[in-house]
A and B are shown apart, each in its own frame.
Chain A
């Protein structure tokens, strides 16, 4: 963390080591020559993240409520809405300033407030996704073992736990080697998964039929078809928003605004829809979205086992990718406590909860939809506040020095390091979301059938943030000195 409070706890390091660590862990704003990703590069990165195997489970969960046609449309609408505001909230400021997103959020939440968000919403969300990936890798490995040995193994048996734990250890080893290795592995895994997803769709249609797929009924719908459709949309909004914790740290690597915004949206959108459609189709026709269950019977022993092995490995690299960004955020938001810990130990700490969850694989699969929707409730509210802060309150103008000074500065210092307006608005938005649509009881208000829960929750959080800021901090300057609005000369085009 580059904040003053955090820096106090840093151990004495050699100047060279200190500089190398700060560069590696992403604290410094990136300069022109360091921002190397073109639009195509970022599209590839986004697609490789989206096409990970969790997409199968999302498609399968959508099949509980709607059939193939409605399900595909619900996935398109839901992901489009979720990605639209998630991408703007996470990439716009990061791309402009070349800085990771959690430092840029200090104006909206305060330096301690960002830490609170990272250690609650962000950490729980990413631990949940990591647990799911580990269990899925474990199921793939268990299926391979069953095929090779001829033994009948349970889908949620002890071998799944053992293999999930092995996957976590492998992900930790990759993570320990740093982002370069993660990038290299993703460059192999992403195209491989794209090929596999295409082949799976062909397999599904060949082994069933297009008519059967189109006519297949949803697996466990409610009586009201409109409600089923809107719940499917809402679930997919949550999936789109769930990329928020990692996208800003990636977008700062891009060369231009166009290279950040459209590839983040398009890459995630297209790849997600394709992979989810396979999960949706397989769940509707075969009764199970998880390819670890049906790939061997369909693909045969050799092809099936090969594909499963690749899926297991892909889950490990996906885990390493998302955990890298999250551990980076944890390190930078932890103040003086965790900055002393070596990277390896910090990333090992992250995996403790996913390791525990590996002992409950069935729970992870069955509670998946609730988890995604609940994390969506908070992340949409965070996005609403981030958008209101950057686009409305700050008019896209931030002061990097003040952001790094945090409590020692003037613009972004708050009592106790917490911007009450930001955290209060997030709480309000999340509560409003759960009132509109309770992910546990599945009770909904009438308005949910027309406007979903995410969109109004994000809007409410944004409006609440602006109102609370006007009431609680009426005299505080919004933009850096020297800009037109602050009484000085304008800086840069449209600034």
Chain B
């Protein structure tokens, strides 16, 4: 029987803590780091703040800059 997602995540977390402590990091620090990464990647993964920038957001942002530069260039020309 294959391991479920929960078990696989737990195993990945355990491997991560083992690797970090093996590299000399204090265990409580490695555990806290793993706890936070798990929260970011699982518990808060659906949060609006954890989503990537959409094409629309990126486009709007770049367009504003282009507009500022374009209008300023126009002011120079005129």
Asked whether any CB of chain A lies closer than 8 Å to the CB of B73, the reply is: yes
| Given A9-B24, A404-B20, CB of A32 within 8 Å of CB of B44 | yes
Chain B contacts with A in 35-59, Cβ cutoff 8 A: 36-37, 39-41, 44-54, 57-58
- CB contact between B46 and one of A80, A95, A492 (< 8 Å): that residue: A492
**Which residues of chain B are within 8 angstroms of A13 by Cβ–Cβ distance?**
26
**How does the 8 Å CB contact mask read for A1-32 relative to B, with 1 for contact and 0 for none?**
01111011110110100110010000111011
Asked whether any CB of chain A lies closer than 8 Å to the CB of B65, the reply is: yes
A81 in contact with B65 (CB, 8 Å):
yes
B73 in contact with A405 (CB, 8 Å):
no
| Given A18-B29, A22-B32, A96-B51, CB of A257 within 8 Å of CB of B69 | no
Question: B52 — nearest CB in chain A belongs to which residue?
Answer: A396
CA distance A404 to B20 in the complex (A): 8
- CB contact between A77 and one of B16, B37, B51, B68 (< 8 Å): that residue: B68
B49 in contact with A257 (CB, 8 Å):
yes
| Given A77-B73, A397-B52, CB of A32 within 8 Å of CB of B29 | no
| Given A4-B20, A257-B53, CB of A76 within 8 Å of CB of B28 | no
B50 in contact with A4 (CB, 8 Å):
no
B20 in contact with A7 (CB, 8 Å):
yes
Asked whether any CB of chain A lies closer than 8 Å to the CB of B10, the reply is: no
Question: B61 — nearest CB in chain A belongs to which residue?
Answer: A261
**Which residues of chain A are within 8 angstroms of B34 by Cβ–Cβ distance?**
401
Question: B73 — nearest CB in chain A belongs to which residue?
Answer: A77
B68 in contact with A29 (CB, 8 Å):
no
CA distance A225 to B56 in the complex (A): 38
A492 in contact with B62 (CB, 8 Å):
no
B29 in contact with A19 (CB, 8 Å):
yes
A255 in contact with B32 (CB, 8 Å):
no
The prevalent SS among residues of B at the interface is helix
CA distance A27 to B62 in the complex (A): 31
- CB contact between A31 and one of B40, B46, B65, B76 (< 8 Å): that residue: B40
Instruction: Tell me the minimal C-beta distance from A421 to chain B in angstroms.
Output: 23
**Which residues of chain A are within 8 angstroms of B61 by Cβ–Cβ distance?**
84, 88, 261-262, 265
Instruction: Tell me the minimal C-beta distance from B7 to chain A in angstroms.
Output: 15
| Given A77-B72, A396-B53, CB of A32 within 8 Å of CB of B23 | no
Asked whether any CB of chain B lies closer than 8 Å to the CB of A297, the reply is: no
B25 in contact with A494 (CB, 8 Å):
no
B32 in contact with A28 (CB, 8 Å):
yes
**Which residues of chain B are within 8 angstroms of A494 by Cβ–Cβ distance?**
51-52, 54
Asked whether any CB of chain B lies closer than 8 Å to the CB of A495, the reply is: yes
Asked whether any CB of chain B lies closer than 8 Å to the CB of A70, the reply is: yes
CA distance A141 to B33 in the complex (A): 46
Q: Which of A9, A29, A95 gathers the greatest number of chain B CB atoms within 10 Å?
A: A29
CA distance A396 to B52 in the complex (A): 6
B23 in contact with A81 (CB, 8 Å):
no
- CB contact between B68 and one of A80, A492, A495 (< 8 Å): that residue: A80
Question: A269 — nearest CB in chain B belongs to which residue?
Answer: B68
Asked whether any CB of chain A lies closer than 8 Å to the CB of B19, the reply is: yes
**Which residues of chain B are within 8 angstroms of A77 by Cβ–Cβ distance?**
68-69, 72-73
Instruction: Tell me the minimal C-beta distance from B38 to chain A in angstroms.
Output: 9
CA distance A400 to B40 in the complex (A): 9
B36 in contact with A76 (CB, 8 Å):
no
Asked whether any CB of chain A lies closer than 8 Å to the CB of B75, the reply is: yes
**How does the 8 Å CB contact mask read for A400-417 relative to B, with 1 for contact and 0 for none?**
110011001100000000
CA distance A19 to B27 in the complex (A): 10
B26 in contact with A18 (CB, 8 Å):
yes
- CB contact between B49 and one of A10, A32, A70, A84 (< 8 Å): that residue: A32
B76 in contact with A73 (CB, 8 Å):
yes
Question: B46 — nearest CB in chain A belongs to which residue?
Answer: A492
CA distance A255 to B37 in the complex (A): 17
Asked whether any CB of chain B lies closer than 8 Å to the CB of A56, the reply is: no
CA distance A13 to B58 in the complex (A): 44
Question: B24 — nearest CB in chain A belongs to which residue?
Answer: A8
Give B contacts to A, CB under 8 Å. Answer: 12, 16, 19-20, 22-29, 32-34, 36-37, 39-41, 44-54, 57-58, 61-62, 65, 68-69, 72-73, 75-76
Instruction: Report the 4 A-B pairs with minimum CB-CB distance, sorted nearest first.
Output: A4-B23, A8-B24, A396-B52, A7-B25
17 new A-B contacts, CB < 8 A, other than A408-B19, A491-B41, A492-B50, are A10-B25, A10-B26, A18-B29, A22-B32, A29-B40, A32-B47, A35-B49, A77-B73, A88-B61, A92-B52, A255-B49, A257-B49, A257-B51, A257-B57, A261-B57, A262-B61, A491-B45
A and B contact pairs by CB, cutoff 8 A, 22 listed: A3-B23, A5-B23, A7-B20, A22-B29, A22-B33, A32-B44, A32-B47, A76-B68, A80-B68, A84-B61, A84-B62, A96-B51, A98-B40, A396-B52, A396-B53, A397-B52, A400-B40, A400-B41, A401-B37, A405-B19, A408-B23, A495-B52
